[in-house]
Structure 1
Amino acid sequence: MVFLLLQYSIPILILSLLSFSKSSPPPIPSLISLNCTAPSQNVVVNSTTGYWSCSNQTIIMDWQVQFEAAFETLLLRLRADMAIKVLVVVNNQLMRFSTGEVQYGNRSSQVVYGLAECVHNVSHKDCEVCVEKSNDKLLKCCGGGNNYKDGGTVVVAGYCMVRYETYKFFSRVLSGGGLDASNGSSSSGAVNVLQGAAAMATELEELLEFLSSPSPPVKKAAVDIVRGLTGSEDGLQSLSSYARIALPSLSRLLSENKEVSEPAAEALVNLSQNSELATKMVEMGMIKTVMDLLYKPDSSITQLLVMLLVNLTQLDEGISSLLQTGDEQMKGLYLMKLVRSFCRASSESNDQFEHVGSILVNISKKEAGRKILLDPKRGLLKQIIRQFDSTSLLRKKGVSGTIRNCCFEAENQLQNLLLISEFLWPALLLPVASKKVYSEQDISKMPLELGSALKIEREPVDDPEIRVQTLESIYLIILQEAGRRAFWSVNGPRILQVGYEDEEDPKVMEAFERVGSLLVDGSGTEEPSTETSK
């Protein structure tokens, strides 16, 4: 019989491109409503008049996704630029403004242009907030879903204006003013495709640089967009080309406040699904960074950090890093911390460490991890097994998978497994014992802990994967003669007989039959494979 070692991962967090954050309002009244029910109508704003409008033309469906990313990048650039702009003289008037353009397709004509402008007597902070709110208005009212318009304007009288179009509506060239009057020359065929790709690459690199912006609102907006990009295959592929910028920048954001660290952590969880990116994270010391942050008293992203560790420990390098195999004095320290947190958090309503069970499964697929878990001086497996009573299915799966992987060491470490038989046999036999109440005669041949549980009604373990895993663990143990004797001593065959009678799942029944045939044969000569599943 060939069994494969288990490993678990965190799937892509389902995310879409996100709009800019709604930061706290400045010390002036609300600037503009986000109600989109009356386009092109005057809006009263703080006793002044403003208006907004959207084009009647919609970007064609084939380019909606590309336009969405370009549109958000453009608004982010305008907002970031306005945060550092100084007043300049234009036509004998003081102004603060910024312009930008972003290509969204393969043709040089597929460009979205934008302009942001504030009146001269508005403070720097109020200007920045006004542009932010105007951007939000455009995102909500002129975009969203597959309905992006090809132009829109927001004017907040007395404060600012933001406008975008798919044609260049500004033309003046001002030295140092930020206006660009150059018109891109047209080209076709392969040259067009290369120009489009180069332009998009440049915009993405610029977006990633905003992750290090000194302006908190700009940084927040940038990380939200990056997080959104990681929710799609296309976004992940694009970001992977800029891992040298994205990964260190996102890693640094993990130590900031929750508003920034949470989307950064979510982005890293998604990126770590890519094995090449996960390898780069391990190489840059991400395991140590996560473990250091995980145990900071004010950590607000604990669950996300644990999820990141799940993905990084799919790699052999990630497992070695978490086990600290290169340092004899520190070896296993991180793992001991995680096990302790896993056990302590089980009683909390908001379980931040339940995904540690998946990390333990991943760690135990390697011999070095199994040896640490089975070390009787550390007592880690004993602590882990006791968590099988949890009501959390994720915890139960983590415990059963870890036990199963550790049972691959039964040939050499059976004694260490049987040292904790008081906890091991209930964890392996109760899930497959059915929900029947056992007779006094049956119970009399069982240890107290097991018999006490089987003489009363109990909730069955409904998940067939857990039942298969426990049966495979039993199989690995009874391959050894001493293991078979121990199994008979707790009346294990009788429990399997009763459980098999009530079993309906074909895969679980097959696992029952494998164990039964081994007990009947009594030889147990066939060795399991330790090949790792991919």
Structure 2
Amino acid sequence: MPTELEELVAFLHSPQPAVVQIALDNLVGYSQGQHQQIFAYDDYRAITDLKLLSKSKGRTLVNQSVTILINLCDDVRMRNLIVEDTEYVKFLVSQIINLSNANADLMTILLTNIAKNDKITRVFGFEMELSEDQHQVFKSTKAMDCLMDCFVKGSDRSLNRYADFDYLSYFFADISRFSLGRKYFITRQQYDDVVPISKLLVFTEKYDSKIRREGVASTIKNSLFDSKEHMELLTNEDINILPYILLPLAGPEELDEEDMFNLPDELQLLPEDKQRDPVEAILITHLESLLLLCTTREVREYLREKSVYPLVRELHKTMESNEEFQNHCDRVVQLLMRDEAPEGHDEIDMEESDDEDEDKIVEIL
């Protein structure tokens, strides 16, 4: 016999809209924690019901069904039932880029939560059907290009008054963990002749949005796992990635004149009130990016020329009470200040770190 809560879950596929609404009203609170397993009733029929409900016309109905799906992503089986439904994932993207959708940000969170599964890379093959109005905004019909445009152009709600698209930064961070995602972010795109990662760099100092800074920092880090691309990312003026890694790490401290003028131009003569990123986890992510850049001798020498060591040295002094932070600073310093091995031993193996933030599931109360 089904329990009372399981019967409530079964009401999600009732033919009576009023009954469905009552069920949703009561089930949102049970979509987190130990009660989540009630949604496994009847071979996970609720997941199918919730996906159908999220395609309905009612704003509240969509809001509640998507909220429940977001929370259920804590459960790997339920998460996989969402991401493995290719048509549903394409529907989510279509609704995120629907610039009149009042639930676009919620759907962005759901897209982010299901991006833990490598099936999410199917998004690179999605061609979107765009309206005439959308063609004015999106110059490409490829799903990833459209999502990038939403993130870059829509941060001030100028594209969709209901959405700021901040959570797409977490989606980019997750999808960049897969080789197909990393390749996208560091490859010049035909539709606008721009390397996607270069569009994200400016958001490393968007201090009114921790979400954007955090997601972008992780996307940068993940995009650096191919050491063969490092010099291009550093020296190509259209990308110029180093200043955007260093600026969040830089404080108001004065360096020696020689060190100061060896820094990238963007870091020279910073104002006296320059502040570092206030979030330690973001600072650590940028330090991890520097560690990845230290993989080859060529780049280590470039970083030395750009006074990266003096900047990290000053950063190290300000965070003496944080052991993890100190360890990351120490590793960067050791790689930059040590004697180089003989020729032919130029590359260092860097162990990919586990970033808990990238595995985080966003829950909605």
Question: TM-score, normalized by length of structure 2?
Answer: 0.81
Q: State whether structure 2 residue 154 is matched by structure 1 residue 345.
A: yes
Residue of structure 1 aligned with 2:206, choices 380, 384, 390: 390
Question: Aligned letter for 1:368?
Answer: L
Q: State whether structure 2 residue 93 is matched by structure 1 residue 321.
A: no
| 2:168 alignment counterpart | 356
CA contact (8 A) 2:250 2:311 kept: yes
| 1:433 alignment counterpart | 250
| 2:336 alignment counterpart | 519
Write out aligned runs for 1:342-421 (5 A). Answer: 342-348=151-157, 352-377=164-189, 378-391=194-207, 392-410=209-227, 412-418=228-234, 419=236
Report which of the two structures shows the higher radius of gyration computed on alpha carbons: 1
| 2:112 alignment counterpart | 310
| 2:145 alignment counterpart | 336
C-alpha spacing 1:455/1:206, structure 2 compared with 1 (3 Å)? closer
1:439 and 1:350 map into 2 onto residues whose CA distance is: 48
Q: State whether structure 2 residue 84 is matched by structure 1 residue 283.
A: yes
Percent pairwise identity? 21
C-alpha spacing 1:342/1:325, structure 2 compared with 1 (3 Å)? closer
Q: State whether structure 2 residue 284 is matched by structure 1 residue 468.
A: yes
Q: Point out the more displaced range, 347-356 or 457-466.
A: 347-356
| 1:66 alignment counterpart | none
1:455 deviates by 4.5
Q: Deviations along 1:334-355, whole A, 9 cap, x unmatched? A: 2222222112232349753111
**What is the count of residue pairs matched by the alignment?**
328
CA contact (8 A) 2:127 2:142 kept: no
Q: Deviations along 1:423-442, whole A, 9 cap, x unmatched? A: 42222112222332445543
Q: State whether structure 2 residue 267 is matched by structure 1 residue 450.
A: yes
Question: Aligned letter for 1:279?
Answer: N
| Unmatched 5+ stretches in structure 2 | 129-139, 360-365
C-alpha spacing 1:284/1:380, structure 2 compared with 1 (3 Å)? same
1:274 and 1:224 map into 2 onto residues whose CA distance is: 21
C-alpha spacing 1:369/1:302, structure 2 compared with 1 (3 Å)? same
| 2:350 alignment counterpart | 528
1:284 deviates by 2.2
More helix by share: 2
Q: What's the C-alpha RMSD, in Å, of the aligned pairs?
A: 2.8
Question: Aligned letter for 1:335?
Answer: M
Higher relative contact order (CA 8 A, sep 6+): 1
| Unmatched 5+ stretches in structure 1 | 1-197
C-alpha spacing 1:213/1:296, structure 2 compared with 1 (3 Å)? farther
| 1:477 alignment counterpart | 293
Question: TM-score, normalized by length of structure 1?
Answer: 0.57
1:379 deviates by 1.4
C-alpha spacing 1:416/1:273, structure 2 compared with 1 (3 Å)? farther
Write out aligned runs for 1:59-98 (5 A). Answer: none
Q: State whether structure 2 residue 49 is matched by structure 1 residue 260.
A: no
Write out aligned runs for 1:116-127 (5 A). Answer: none
1:422 deviates by 6.0
Question: Aligned letter for 1:293?
Answer: Q
CA contact (8 A) 2:12 2:50 kept: yes
Question: Aligned letter for 1:397?
Answer: E
2:97 and 2:285 map into 1 onto residues whose CA distance is: 32
1:450 deviates by 2.1
